Chains A and B, each alone.
Chain A
Amino acid sequence: MDSALTEISEFLQAIPPMGLLPPSTIEKIVKEISICYVRRGLALPPQGSVAKNLYILRKGALSYVTENNELIGKYGEGDICTVFCIGNQDDNGNTIKVTTDEDTLLYSINYEKFEELVAKFPDVVAFFQQTAEQRLSKKMLQVNEEAILNSSLLNSSIANFYHSPVVTVTPDTSIQQAAILMTERGFSCLVIANKDIPLGIVTDKDIRRRCVAQALDIQQPVTTIMTDNMTTIDIKNTAYDALMMMTQKHIHHLPVTANNQLKGMVTVTDLMNNEGQNAVNITSVIHKAKSVSELAEISKMIPKLQIRMAKLGTTADHVGKSISAITMAFTIRLITMAEKLLGPAPVPYAWLAAGSQARQEQFAHSDQDNAIIISNDLQPQHQPWFKDLATFVSDGLAACGFIYCPGEVMATNEKWCQTQEKWAQYFAHWINHPDPKSLMHCSIFFDLTTVHGDSRLLNTVREKMLKTTQRSTLFIAHLSRNALQLRPPLGFFRDFVLIQDGENKATLDLKHNGIAPIVDLARIYALSEGVASVNTIERLQQAAGTPSLTKASAANLIDAYEFLSMLRMEHQANKLQLSQKPNNYLSPKEISKLEREHLKDAFKVIKTMQDNRQSTF
């Protein structure tokens, strides 16, 4: 073909989904092009054309606005405008008007002719038929497929890993009988069960530490040395969830249940055989560390793990969970060190994580958000102990690369190291007096989880709090309004929506413009429906189908959230690999045109849901 038209062909080829077409078809499409030039500030179609045309932006910029002149989106070089051929209504049924923001050169193609030329290519036809939501969902499907290919653990059910049947003994079995049985069967642990209801677990270690070392009578019932209140996992979970649970609790045996009935046992070895270097490895090293400097050394592995997981195609959800679990392991290890140094806690307490760590959405180099909840038995003379604990752990975390929270949301802040009663008062105050400061605290402290200590302390407060929020429509309304202040950028990659100053010039803030709005929405759904989970995806899943959130919307939001998180994870992995500090500022040049398309789709989903939220109140 003529080289002039080759240039135009190459331009077309680079635009999704045209790259899916063979060169001969692209050549035919090029022959159908009419080039038009539209001055800045004029309405499309050019010269009031009434033909059904597809427009491709060769140079310049377009704005889409509603009849009320509300901006819907911005489009630039390489974007396809289908308003005048497929439909001129947006998702909310508004008629779209298109105007030029700059002098614009357009390639106009008769849409009927175009359809005829691409008819034989279903992927291309589908691209033009799908809505933004559908395109995004398809993309997420591909991403998950990669994850399946790359790591079997993530998406395989525990059912593929557990041993069955598990060796169980009745509660009246003696320690000796249990030990004999374990030796005979070559098992390192037994489950004590009453009619298939698991009561507890006993391991080699328990016999050594709780029986032999204590010179306990071996004829005593095995229940005296078993670990009761044991952690179990439901068979419906994935093997990865089991791994994460073991990592967090630092246990190596996890009984598997179905409808509360014991089904089998999954061990860390079962899972380790499938994953080489993983979160479990790191956490077991953490638990063996003897000093803060040793921990600091280990913490250098976190970015490497994040890179590796990102490169393996692990989903952002799993990376967030792994990194959060590792942070948890660091915290627990530091607390244990502190308790050794300071002596045991004077009264029961729990160490809490807030924000992204609590939501299990943490990435490397996050800042620390933590707090302490203490039993109401606290006496004034006990306070220095907690102050010392907080300082030791917080400094230790800082040494491991978790920077101090700029907002002082840390256990070292006396305000956030309080009794159960005081925490309950805090929540009541925030809910009853939703002023801007309260709302800011809500977004941090409504995402709380227990890292160490008695989890009942927090759970009791949370239950009470959730009952109140469900009834308090005024509070939810305030929270919604507050959350809607973070809007996804409407003009994508045009100069003025990108951050204009400083070292992050001309970049898109993925966290504040994309991820945070979804996290906020999920929190609101959870609080208005009494959902106790704090993880964003879990909140959306559990709120799905309630009056607050339809199932379809939940699925769309999850897709958008996963896509944005994945972009952020890949961006951070690239930064980490270049030994740069990871951040959330994405430069449009970093991502492909196709990803840009999906990014736009994700933003559209968020905007739709925010608009819905706005109209609810």
Chain B
Amino acid sequence: MLNNHPLASWLIGYEAQRKRMLKKAPKGPLYNFLSVPFPQLFTPFDQVPILAVDFETTGLDAIQDKLLSVGCVDLIDNQIKLGSSYHQIISSRGRLTPDNVSIHQITDDQKDQGQSLAQVIEQLLQRLAGKVMLVHFARIERQFLRQACIELYGMAPVIPMIDTLMVAKRRLDKKDVAYDPSELRLSTLRTKYNLPDHYAHNALNDAIATAELLLAQTNECHENPALEKLLL
């Protein structure tokens, strides 16, 4: 990876990008987020402040589909702090399709009682400042957050991320044996690590489930990997 080269990481590394973006960012939530330094790449895992995040959306397309709810929880020092958990439903225009309701259990009524996208993204960025974002299957969260920031602030920030799916995939790839993609699902991976069944499709619940999975993955080798090894 280019990231591993000292010069490359200086040029395109998260910190460098953050500093460059900070200069262009409009004052407000995005500026505040960018003004806090990210953890350094060699920080051992148990000292990295992590925010496990999950979004529930109306679909997979960040441009057409809507963000429905956000859930997140802090993970630091090998512990998931339930006291820090945050869950918010977003009110947006447009009706939900019955399909969506059955998956997310978020009804139109609840959605209408939610907060605006601007309020929720502001709170998420506040919580995320100076931390690494943890998700399972990063594409959704990355694209929806990017799209939301562009709509709200005119630009998308750089965010260091850990993806439990990629952590698992890299390990499977290393073994050099064929595997079924379904082995990379959150629930399948949790079962593999003797984690309890969880109630899926609630943003906070999935965020906690993802954080538990990362704890299991990082503890597997009895070592305390540096952040660099886990980043996307």
B19 beta carbon closer than 8 Å to chain A: no
A295 to B79, CA, bound (A): 68
List residues of chain A with CB within 8 A of the CB of B46. 47
Which residues of chain A are near B219, meaning CB under 8 Å?
37-39, 103
Contact A35 B199 (CB under 8 A): no
A108 within 8 A of B: yes
Distance in angstroms between the alpha carbons of A34 and B216 in the assembled complex: 15
Complex contact A4–B212 (CB within 8 A): no
Q: Which residues of B contact A5 (CB under 8 A)?
A: 82, 85, 204
**Total interface residues in chain A, CB < 8 Å:** 26
Knowing A2-B85, A5-B204, A36-B78, the reply to whether A59 touches B215 (Cβ < 8 A) is no
Q: Does B202 make an interface contact (CB < 8 A)?
A: yes
Contact A33 B82 (CB under 8 A): yes
Bound Cα distance from A365 to B171, whole angstroms? 59
Known A35-B211, A35-B215, A39-B222; judge A7-B83 contact (CB<8 A).
no
* B20 contacts A by Cβ under 8 Å: no
Of the residues A3, A37, A102, A103, contact of B78 by C-beta under 8 Å: A37
Query: Is B101 located at the chain interface by the 8 A CB criterion?
Result: no
**In residues 180-232 of chain B, which contact A (Cβ within 8 Å)?**
193-196, 198-199, 202, 204-205, 207-208, 211-212, 215-216, 219-220, 222
> Which of B82, B195, B202, B215 is within 8 Å of A31, CB to CB?
B82
Cβ-defined contact, B202 with A59, below 8 A: no
User: With a CB–CB cut-off of 8 A, which chain B residues contact A34?
Assistant: 79-82
Q: Does A234 contact B (CB under 8 A)?
A: no
Q: Is B136 an interface residue (CB 8 A)?
A: no
List, in ascending order, chain A residues with CB within 8 A of B77's CB: 47
Q: Counting CB contacts under 8 A, is B29 at the interface? A: no
A521 to B105, CA, bound (A): 59
A32 within 8 A of B: yes
Pair B79/A59 contact, Cβ less than 8 Å? no
In the complex, B71 has a CB within 8 A of chain A: yes
Partner of B204, one of A4, A33, A59: A4
Q: Which of A3, A47, A103 contacts B202 (CB 8 A)?
A: A3
Instruction: Tell me, yes or no, whether B87 is within 8 Å of chain A by CB.
Output: yes
- A8, A31, A108: the one within 8 Å of B79 (CB): A108
In the assembled complex, the CB of A32 is this many whole angstroms from the nearest CB of chain B, namely 6
A452 within 8 Å of B (CB atoms): no
Docked pose: A36 CA to B195 CA in angstroms: 11
Interface contact A105-B199, CB-CB below 8 Å:
no
A60 to B215 Cα, complex, angstroms: 15
Distance of A422 Cα from B83 Cα, bound (Å): 77
Q: What CA separation (Å) do A3 and B198 show in the bound complex?
A: 11
A33 surroundings in chain B (CB, below 8 A):
82-83
Q: How far is the CA of A4 from the CA of B201 in the complex (A)?
A: 10
Cross-chain contact of A32 among B83, B198, B199, B207 (Cβ < 8 A): B83
- Chain B, 63-121, CB within 8 A of any chain A CB: 71, 77-83, 85, 87, 105
Bound Cα distance A36, B207 (Å): 15
Contact assessment for A4 and B211 in the assembled complex, using a CB-CB cutoff below 8 Å:
no
Residues of B within 8 A of A37 (CB): 78, 212, 215-216, 219
Q: Is A58 an interface residue (CB 8 A)?
A: yes
Q: Is the CB of A103 within 8 A of B208?
A: no
CB distance from B168 to the nearest CB of A (A): 15
**B85 to A35, Cβ gap below 8 A?**
no
What does the 1/0 interface line of B158-171 toward A look like (CB < 8 Å)?
00000000000000
**Smallest CB-CB separation from B193: which chain A residue?**
A103
The CA-CA distance from A7 to B197 in the complex, in Å, is 11
CB atoms of B212 and A31 under 8 A apart: no
Q: How would residues 80 to 114 of chain A score, 1 for a CB under 8 Å from any chain B CB and 0 otherwise? A: 00000000000000000000001111001000000
Structural contact, B78 and A31, CB atoms closer than 8 A: no
Do the beta carbons of B220 and A7 come within 8 Å of each other? no
Chain B residues with Cβ below 8 Å from A104 are 194
B82 A2 Cβ-Cβ under 8 A? no
Q: Considering the chains assembled together, what is the distance between the CA atoms of A108 and B199 in angstroms?
A: 21
Say whether B202 contacts A46, CB under 8 Å: no
Q: B220 contacts which chain A residues (CB < 8 A)?
A: 39
Which residues of chain B have C-beta atoms less than 8 A from A58's C-beta?
Answer: 196
Distance in angstroms from B225 CB to nearest chain A CB is: 14
Residue from the list A2, A8, A32 in contact with B87, Cβ < 8 A: A2
B215 surroundings in chain A (CB, below 8 A)? 35-37
Q: Are A60 and B194 in contact (CB under 8 A)?
A: yes
Closest Cβ–Cβ distance, residue A43 to chain B (whole Å): 13
Residues of B within 8 A of A8 (CB): 82
Q: A36-B215, A37-B215 are in contact. Are A4 and B205 (CB under 8 A)?
A: yes
Please give, as numbers and ranges, the residues of chain A lying within 8 Å of B193 by CB-CB distance.
103
Q: Counting chain B CB atoms within 10 Å of each CB, which of A37, A46, A105 scores highest? A: A37
Within 8 Å of chain B (Cβ to Cβ): is A143? no
The answer to whether A398 has its CB under 8 Å from any CB of chain B is no
Contact A3 B196 (CB under 8 A): no
Whether the pair A59, B196 counts as a contact (CB closer than 8 A) is yes
Do B208 and A35 touch across chains, with their CB atoms under 8 A apart? yes
**A30 on the interface (CB 8 Å rule)?**
yes
Chain B residues within an 8 Å CB radius of A7: 198-199, 205
Q: Which residue of A lies closest to B46 (CB)?
A: A47
Please measure, in the bound complex, the distance between the C-alpha atom of A60 and the C-alpha atom of B195, giving whole angstroms: 8
Contact with B along A256-296 (1 / 0, CB 8 A): 00000000000000000000000000000000000000000
Interface centre among A2, A30, A47, by most B CB within 10 Å?
A2
Q: Are B216 and A3 in contact (CB under 8 A)?
A: no
* Most B CB within 10 A of own CB, among A4, A32, A38: A4
Question: Closest 8 interchain pairs by CB?
Answer: A4-B205, A37-B215, A35-B80, A4-B204, A34-B79, A2-B87, A33-B82, A103-B194
Interface pairs (29), CB distance under 8 Å: A2-B71, A3-B199, A4-B85, A4-B207, A5-B82, A5-B85, A7-B205, A31-B83, A33-B82, A34-B79, A35-B80, A35-B211, A35-B212, A36-B78, A36-B215, A37-B78, A37-B212, A39-B219, A39-B220, A47-B46, A47-B77, A59-B196, A102-B194, A103-B193, A104-B194, A105-B194, A105-B195, A105-B196, A108-B79
> A-side interface residues toward B, CB under 8 Å?
2-5, 7-8, 30-39, 46-47, 58-60, 102-105, 108
B residues within 8 Å of A by Cβ? 46, 71, 77-83, 85, 87, 105, 193-196, 198-199, 202, 204-205, 207-208, 211-212, 215-216, 219-220, 222
